[in-house]
Amino acid sequence: MQFKTTSSPHYTPENSVNTIMRRVLLAMIPGTLATIFFFGWGVIINMLLACVVALGTEALMLGMRNRAIKPYLLDGSAILTACLLALALPQLAPWWLTCIATVSAIIFGKHLYGGLGFNPFNPAMVGYVIAIISFPKEMTQWVPPLLEGYTHLNFLQTFQVIFGGQVPAGLSWDAITMATPLDTLKTQLGLELSINDIHQHEVYGPMFGAVGGIGWEWINGLFLAGGLWLAMKRVIDWRIPAGLLGTLFFLSNSFALYDYSSFTPPTFHMFSGGIMLAAFFIATDPVTAATTPRGRWIFGAGIGFFIFVIRTWGGYPDGIAFAVLLMNMTTPLLDYYTMPRAFGHHWREFPQHTKKHDDE
Amino acid sequence: MSNADYNEISKNGLWTNNVALVQLLGLCPLLAVTGTVINGLGLGVATLLTLVLSNSSVSLIRHWVRPEVRVPVFVLIIASIVTTIELSMNAWFHDLYNVLGIFIPLIVTNCSILARAEAFASKNKVLPSMIDGFMMGLGFTAVLVLLGGMRELVGRGTLLADAHLMFGEVARNWTLVIFDDYTGLLLAILPPGAFIGLGLIIAGKNIIDKRLSKRQAQAVQNTGQEAIA
């Protein structure tokens, strides 16, 4: 008698690159909609531009490397990189800045290392760092998030600003852009104002909203919701965002308790800038993050630590990209030293890393 | 020494064993000063002179230096040559000297110079050593100028800016503005730009080498088939 054997029908593998990327993109939708709501048309234009450029560059690089173009192009990784990058760039960034950032992300961040799966650094963050180092002035063109006293551009005007570099007639750059809350805090703290003074300030006060700045708190809240859904679906590991947000909260809370007038409160840290996007969508990139459970805790905690250090004492208002790249560098080391014990082996005999093993 | 050997030495210095692209020596000045073509050329020529002079002097005394003390002796020779060059640059190319700054005295620590003294000059006659030094220096200078050109073009949109530092007042308006009204890609001027640029040049060399060897293999195959036929 012979039993009929079929390959396991009870379990459908869900973790193909395609599924992961699609779910991550799906989880980004609420936060992205909020960003569009508060920051206007620039977000959409940037995203479309970045996606087109990313797909074009990806196809070109795949062609040059003699790889199959269609399957790799459709796996969604290039689109995800482009979307993350577009969300991180200021909304009125000129078109060529978005193009340079995206092209560098795909070429230098991804394909020169061997394509998806071989890149040691998060491609979107590579593109962002190249942009912010090269064009510090253009990277400040943030739109005021639905604040009174500022002009909010319609689609055509936004299009003209991005592609023509021309401010609409009768307006100045100061009327259509403004510094982000993080940037403002950094500048004003440098001028010896206390946090309380800045919050009460007649010009700068209104932008801080309730928790993390008008608009920013909603965007971060929705990215948090999307990220939690991803973590529940096990697309990402909850340890990385937990380590990141935990460390950031602990550090900012300790410093704020020590001196509440010159260190920003933890609530502001947690809900301003791109922190939730970074914690749930950028730091959790399966290729560049640590892979062991303990390694992921340390990886997340390290990013949180560097974000706090750069925000507080660094030269840039936000340090997410630098923090992520710095911790990406440590990933192989973290994986090496936090390798879990194999079942049936004592801790003392494992991991057995001899020179010979590594050479194989 | 026959002519074929000199060809070999030249090919080695300029291409096969290029100091910067293959041996990857002297990267510190290479990455630090190649912000413009002229800076690259200035440091390249200084290094070239040092290489020629040090190689010939080391070759001259090669029979009298005991192997136990050869490294200190070579370093002394190189250091005195570099000091001479540094002083002359200070005297005649003062502005360029100011721009290149610490990297002129640091030529002493450029590994390629000691490496050529040790690997070639201490074992060969004077003329071949001199030519070796010249070709190695020329290869290094070529890479410096190429990298300087790439970074200047991308970073500032010009070529040959500040040429008067090297060629005197005549050259003040040699600057070629390639892109008018160019914002400038700051990254190319900063150190990461140097690393990326050097990486691209090395990749380019590898591509050319690969093509050449493929063509050579094909040529060998063709002659083989002809011989069989």
- As a dihedral over the C-alpha atoms of residue B135, residue B138, residue B143, residue B145, rounded to 10 degrees, the angle is -170
Distance, CA of A204 to CA of A299 (rounded, Å): 35
In this prediction, residue B185 carries a pLDDT of 80
Q: Which residues pair with B159 in a beta bridge?
A: B176
Predicted confidence band of residue A354 (pLDDT cuts 50, 70, 90): very low
Half-sphere exposure of A193 (CA within 13 A, CB side): 16
pLDDT of amino acid B187:
83
What residues form DSSP beta bridges with B177?
B158
What is the per-residue pLDDT for A358? 44
| Rounded Cα distance, B149 and B144, in Å | 8
Contact status of A332 with chain B (Cβ, < 8 Å): no
Query: How crowded is the C-beta side of A7, counted as CA atoms within 13 Å?
Result: 2
Per domain, the residue ranges of chain A are 41-142+144-177, 180-339
Q: The domain containing residue B59 runs over which residues?
A: 3-228
Residue A355 binned pLDDT confidence (cut-offs 50, 70, 90):
very low
Residue A178 · residue A147 · CB < 8 Å:
yes
Q: Answer yes or no: do A135 and B192 touch at CB < 8 A.
A: no
State how far the Cα of A334 lies from the Cα of A294, in Å rounded to an integer. Answer: 9
Residue A282 has pLDDT above 80, yes or no: yes
- pLDDT tens sequence across A156-168: 888 888 888 778 7
Strands B176-177 and B158-159 turn out to be antiparallel
Residues in Cβ contact with A273 at an 8 Å cutoff, skipping those fewer than 6 apart: A180, A182, A212, A216, A311, A317, A318, A320
pTM tops 0.90? no
Q: Is the torsion defined by CA of A223, A229, A233, A234 positive or negative?
A: positive
| Cβ(A283)–Cβ(A324) below 8 Å | yes
Amino acid B141: pLDDT: 92
User: Residue A18: which of A92, A66, A78 has the closest Cα?
Assistant: A78
Q: Does A342 have pLDDT greater than 90?
A: no
Amino acid identity for residue A223 in this structure: F
> How confident is residue A360, by pLDDT bands cut at 50, 70 and 90?
very low
Residue B92 CB: number of other CB atoms within 10 A?
10
Please list the helix, strand and coil fractions of chain B in percent, rounded to the nearest 5, in that order: 80, 0, 20
**What's the pLDDT score for residue A89?**
92
Mean pLDDT computed over every residue of chain A: 86
Q: Chain B contact for A130, CB < 8 A?
A: yes
- State the pLDDT at residue B129: 92
Check whether A171 has a pLDDT greater than 90: no
Q: Are residues A134 and B186, on separate chains, in Cβ contact within 8 Å?
A: yes
Asked if the model's pLDDT at residue A283 lies above 50, the reply is yes
Q: Does A100 touch chain B (CB under 8 A)?
A: yes
Residue A314 has pLDDT above 80, yes or no: yes
The secondary structure of A303-331 as a DSSP string is: HHHHHHHHHHHSSSS--HHHHHHHHHHHH
Mean of pLDDT values over A316-330: 92
What confidence tens digit (pLDDT) does each residue in A50-84 have?
999 999 999 999 998 888 888 888 888 899 999 99
At A222, list the tokens: 């929705």
Cβ–Cβ below 8 Å for B185 and A134: yes
Is residue A204 within 8 A of residue A184, CB to CB? The reply is yes
pLDDT exceeds 90 at position A48: yes
Helix (H) or strand (E) holding B202: helix B191-228
Domain count, chain B: 1
Q: What residue ranges of chain B have pLDDT lower than 50?
A: 1
Measured N-to-C along each axis, helices A77-88 and A17-39 cross at an angle, to the nearest 10 degrees, of: 20
CB A301 within 8 A of CB A255: no
Count of residues in chain B: 229
| Residue spans of alpha helices (H) in chain A | 17-39, 41-64, 69-73, 77-88, 95-107, 123-134, 155-164, 173-176, 181-190, 195-200, 216-232, 239-258, 266-271, 275-277, 293-313, 320-337, 355-359
The 10s digit of each residue's pLDDT in A227-259 is 999 999 888 999 999 999 999 999 999 999 998
Q: Which of B183, B186, B199 sits opposite A133 (nearest CB)?
A: B186
- Considering only CB atoms, which chain B residues are within 8 Å of A100? 185
Quote the ipTM score.
0.75
Cβ-nearest to B196 among A100, A108, A135: A108
Three-state secondary-structure class, residue B20: coil
pLDDT at res. A55 = 94
Query: Burial of A70 by CB count in 10 Å (0-12 exposed, 13-18 middle, 19+ buried)?
Result: exposed
The model's confidence at residue A351, banded by pLDDT at 50, 70 and 90, is low
- Would the CB atoms of B190 and A133 count as touching at under 8 Å? yes
